[in-house]
Structure 1
């Protein structure tokens, strides 16, 4: 008992335990772990560490953060052929945008289920990225001219040429630009988007974290996978609604919009044959 107490010491306001491990070279090295509020907590943790050491399940305490583990250790192992290129890119993007900014600074071994629950709640409430640059809005006189010329039956190229003539500041405007300006002018302003991510997206983020921590457990980086006991949005809440299709009027508007496109035959084929996108593209 005295030996055990000698291996637990107070450092500042917290307690630290010490133990010895044998490294790969056969040398005996001292390891420690601190931050315990009481001597009893440190002694209990030391007993558990000794038991794990004898069973071959001991995890060496370190200061590795969640961000360092995900970006420097885990993601490189997921590159193709482990994952498809698109899946790997999706994992990397979601870790960069939705995980690292929120829990990346936490030490990997100190990450808790409550940290993940707080992350999921934050993403649901306000996880959407701020919008990018606003869409360019043309002068109402330009939009009126575009609408009048198109109503008279001019092609988009003819409309673009006329707009460039009457408004020198728009010299070089393309037929695609005038068509897009006309389409936006006809559409109602969209309702403000929910600032949070969808249940489906947050659960996808959870799936990525769960997979990463499963490997961390397998690699003896952590003693348990805390994502396994966290609470992401339930699976039932992530089901997609029924798909909707365009009406004849909506399809007509789209085909009118792409009437000058070199891909018009492909759009017509896709709209009338019922084939999948991949089948149309060959």
Structure 2
């Protein structure tokens, strides 16, 4: 984003800062956001900016930076939980308020580093517990029904790849053909397609472990090959200027798919087939749950998902662990009895 765009996004903060006491929180944030922008992913910076503008500054922006205390932050979190939604329809989730707490903590931490504070009030209050929501996933019957219903759909390969690899939505949409190695039956996760202010752009994967190689089965490779033939035909017959993005999954004119549109399209198709409602991201949960239930080692599942550690995998999919325990007990008994 150019200088004009940057000024436009920070302008609401600057207006508040001009009306507030010297070195109010709003004044500091109006300086802090442009300063940290180069060190953050675009999506992360935009998330910081949006949450500060919509949730924090309307409530705390005029308070002098040095006077913000743990009581102010606790009151903020309680209010956000009760009535924090911008559309006025209720409160924010505990997960969202916990995330806002991390943003406030980072902001005040940098104020200390810049010599404008001597303590971080966010360290002296207790944010809402970050609850881990129950994983929603389809079972084998639903997966088979969905794939059968999608067989002739233009994005069939996208849905199949999501289910056979457990890749994140952004990783799927950021996958390029030069990252698919048919000879070794591998694909390489190198980019993620994200939406920042509704504009799509390529970014680096979510974490260091997210950069990974994933083995592909023959059926998925065949689906990708058929998809490429279709894409080549679309390129040759498209009556509009064609964008040569090099991405595997694109619009008919070669432009990147918008992540939100992909999610909405998936939900419409699942609803049309009469299947239980899940999000596109839940295809990742479905893939992992089915893999663990099939006896695939958690370490392998963790590597395919790009988790930072196998403990994250086991914690996220703890609903499958009892089944694994039962199977282990039966196998051990078969060896010794």
Task: Tell me the TM-score range normalised by the shorter chain.
Answer: 0.3 to 0.5
TM-score of the two chains, using structure 1 as the length reference: 0.48
Q: Which has the larger radius of gyration?
A: 1
The normalised TM-score by structure 2 is 0.40
